């Protein structure tokens, strides 16, 4: 039976999630404080942890940081009622698996749990078939999504995270530069039109710094005046907005394969 952990200072919310998830065949434990949650996480090693962002004494970000120290790959869904964009980005930087707003329907939450649990089972099965040497030599593919459109950015981050990529996000070019300096991504998914530093300006800055990663451009329309300038800087693909997720995934997989060519 798949083990889940709910960490939320709201006892009623814990009980609600415990009952709802148990009906779907999960074994659910709960904790009503961050410190208790960290202790249970270490004892139980749950496949998925549902973590409230706002808690007294030890909030969700502090808990997530400790969970990642103990298990960098465990499935963690942050429940962020009233979260600001800054708090959500901090959770992404700590490699939260998914970030959901409190108040969404239980169907959405349970669907996210199902997907992450299934992904964890696939990864466990795959890991068993590899030798220890192969595991050590397998790089984790890192993607940075840069887009000032919150909905488009969040959609891509969630979609790609659930497909096994390590995804971070930036709301503009300046934040992207900081994240690239910290950990260069294998692939940059970059919106062209952004305030302060647009996509072309970011690509020029990265070219001057000899950035070696691949780039996929997001463009609102093919006659965007910035698009010709962007093509001159050598991206591997251009995707139209609004984003077709399945086409985007195919393009990403192709770019990731071809980077080894």
Positions of E strands within the chain: 3-7, 27-31, 48-52, 75-79, 98-100, 142-146, 166-170, 187-191, 214-219, 237-240
Mean predicted confidence (pLDDT) in 196-201? 89
- 109/143 same-domain check: no
- 110/155 same-domain check: no
User: What confidence tens digit (pLDDT) does each residue in 150-194 have?
Assistant: 888 988 988 888 888 899 999 999 999 999 998 899 999 999 888
Q: Report pTM.
A: 0.52
- 203/105 same-domain check: no
What CATH number is attached to the domain comprising 177? Answer: 3.40.50.2300
133 domain residue, yes or no: no
How many CB atoms sit inside 10 A of residue 101's CB? 15
- 115/167 same-domain check: no
134 domain residue, yes or no: no
* pLDDT of 64: 94
Number of domains within the chain: 2
Residue-number span of the structural domain to which 80 is assigned: 3-128
* pLDDT of 175: 92
CA pair distance 224, 227, nearest whole angstrom: 5
Residue 35 has pLDDT above 60, yes or no: yes
- 166/108 same-domain check: no
Strand partners, 144: 168, 188
How many CB atoms sit inside 10 A of residue 152's CB? 16
- 74/146 same-domain check: no
- 249/164 same-domain check: yes
Lowest model confidence (mean pLDDT) among 82-91, 123-132, 244-253? 123-132
Instruction: Read off the DSSP letter of residue 191.
Output: E
Indicate the average pLDDT of the chain.
86
């Amino acid at each position: 039976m798949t083990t889940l952990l709910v960490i939320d200072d709201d006892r009623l919310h814990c009980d609600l999630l415990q009952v709802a998830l148990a009906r779907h065949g999960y074994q659910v434990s709960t904790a009503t404080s961050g410190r208790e949650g960290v202790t249970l996480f270490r004892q139980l090693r749950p496949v998925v942890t549902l973590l409230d962002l706002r808690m007294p004494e030890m909030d969700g970000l502090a808990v997530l940081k400790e969970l990642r120290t103990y298990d960098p790959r465990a499935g963690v869904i942050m429940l962020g009622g009233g979260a600001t964009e800054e708090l959500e980005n901090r959770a992404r930087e700590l490699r939260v698996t998914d970030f959901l707003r409190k108040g969404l329907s239980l169907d959405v939450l349970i669907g996210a749990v199902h997907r992450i649990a299934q992904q964890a089972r696939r990864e466990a099965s795959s890991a068993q078939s590899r030798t220890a040497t192969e595991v050590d030599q397998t790089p984790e593919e890192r993607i940075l999504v840069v887009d000032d459109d919150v909905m488009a950015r969040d959609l891509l981050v969630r979609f790609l995270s659930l497909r096994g990529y390590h995804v971070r996000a930036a709301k503009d070019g300046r934040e992207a530069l900081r994240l690239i300096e910290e950990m260069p991504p294998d692939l940059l998914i970059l919106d062209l039109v952004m305030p302060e530093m647009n996509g072309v300006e970011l690509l020029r800055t990265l070219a001057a710094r000899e950035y070696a990663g691949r780039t996929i451009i997001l463009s609102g329309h093919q006659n965007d005046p910035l698009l010709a300038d962007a093509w001159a800087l050598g991206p591997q693909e251009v995707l139209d907005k609004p984003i077709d997720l399945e086409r985007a995934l195919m393009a990403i997989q192709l770019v990731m394969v071809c980077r080894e060519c």
